[in-house]
Amino acid sequence: MTSAVEAVTNALAEIERTEPLVKAWVHVDAAAAREQATGIDQHTSANQPLAGLTVGIKDIIDVAGMPTVAGFTPFADRIATSDADVVQRLRTAGAVIIGKTTTTQFALADPTPTRNPWNLDYSPAGSSSGSAAAVAAGHVDLALGSQTAGSTLRPASFCGIVGFKPTFGWASRTGMIPLADSLDTVGLFARDVMSIARLFDALADPDVERAGEIEPAAPPRIGFWEDAASLATDEVHNLVDAALARAIQSGVSVEPVTSPADYRDLLAIHHVIMLVDAAAAHEKLFQTHVNAYGPRIRMAIETGSAIAAHTYARAQLLRREYRDQAVRDWSRVDVVALPTAETPAVPLDTTGSPALQAVVTMFGLPSISIPAGLSQDGLPVGLQLVATSPNGNASLLRVAAWFERLLDDLPTPPTAIR
């Protein structure tokens, strides 16, 4: 069994070797990581389920003694004085914090310098670009991100790893810079579902059901979200269809399900909520430092500021109504399946479209992306699985583990940096 010190030594060596290519980190604290690892090796207890595992933290989440810049120049000298709640829970569970990973500015859409480990000419997506790339490149075992539209699942899909957005409010966001308060969710990255489950159990609030040891699940009942999936390219659609065909061959039933309203209307509702929430969160800072904002988030804040209060209130009402209808309509299946993203990884000047992740985020339903195959260009494509209940975190993880075993012959990241 690898000691924590050995794990940290290996992680730092891998970062030194490939970080100049991948650019996943904004801050690495090697000394603190080695010191923490030494303490873990000397005092590991049975209550530390993540003992010795290395973790990267998205740079909107505070780690005591490290900068939290959020891609914002005026925050260049901002040093966190305490850990975010989720970081403290990581430490209690025995994980070793390696450092801070890149984020698009304030977790919206202006791209970072980070590159996709599968092909350095492509984007790892965003906003949790560094977290996904660091896991895919083998820099760390685990990473924390966030999702307000698609910032965990899409990077997981583009980078060929597992990304999990649990139910809204599953873990404390204290110590995390907000983007949209009614949407922001802590997201998780790893290279397999079991690691995701262990990380989820270590960080979840006390009233959230734990996943525990994931036992082999019975073949699930799957609903295929047809109108949402139609937004994906033919190549992505075909790869997801092939993964579902393998499930059918294993005795699984797949039936069509649809949105509770026109899918593009649902996207518009999410967009209104996110923009107004972002404008509210950044009102004072934006007035003081407007020229330091990137073009995409600046446009988002300006648009959100112009949306009428009654429009926002109506959007929140429709959000609740359509979520409740979706839960009712989908109750006959265990999970809903669709492509994670419309395309494989995109060029570096964008982070890709959140269209296939944003509605699930708005509904607050747990969702997970697992690798489903490779495009003709050798880029990963993700299969997205969505729980049909807000409390379905554990059951979703069991179904994801079932699919992971079914698709266990897929390539593992990375390829471009070897």
Over residues 220-236, the pLDDT tens digits come to: 999 999 999 999 999 99
Question: For the chain, what percent of residues have pLDDT higher than 70?
Answer: 99
Cα–Cα distances (Å) from 259 to 30, 210, 240, 358, 360, in that order, read 47, 29, 19, 13, 11
Q: Which of the following CATH numbers is that of domain 1-418: 2.30.140.10, 3.90.1300.10, 3.30.300.20, 3.30.1360.170?
A: 3.90.1300.10
Residue type, 319: R
Q: Which of 127, 129, 146, 395 is catalytic?
A: 127
23 is catalytic: no
> pLDDT digits over 296-329, tens only?
999 999 999 999 999 999 999 999 999 999 999 9
pLDDT tens-digit readout, 151-164 = 999 999 999 999 99
User: Cβ distance 116 to 122 under 8 Å?
Assistant: yes
From 23, 58, 100, 165, active-site residue: 58
Catalytic residue among 128, 131, 151, 157: 151
pTM of the entire predicted model: 0.98
User: What is the average pLDDT value for the chain, to the nearest integer?
Assistant: 96
pLDDT in the model for residue 216: 64
**Lowest-confidence range among 40-54, 257-271, 298-312, 377-391?**
40-54
Question: Which of 217 and 178 is assigned the larger pLDDT?
Answer: 178
Query: Is position 127 annotated as part of the catalytic site?
Result: yes
- According to the model, what pLDDT value does residue 217 have? 66
pLDDT digits (tens, 9 = 90+) for 334-350: 999 999 999 999 999 99
Taking residues 189-210, report their average pLDDT: 97
Which pLDDT band holds residue 411 (cuts at 50, 70, 90)? confident
What is the rounded CA–CA span in Å between residue 74 and residue 292? 7
List the chain domain ranges: 1-418
pLDDT, position 228: 98
Active site residue 58: yes
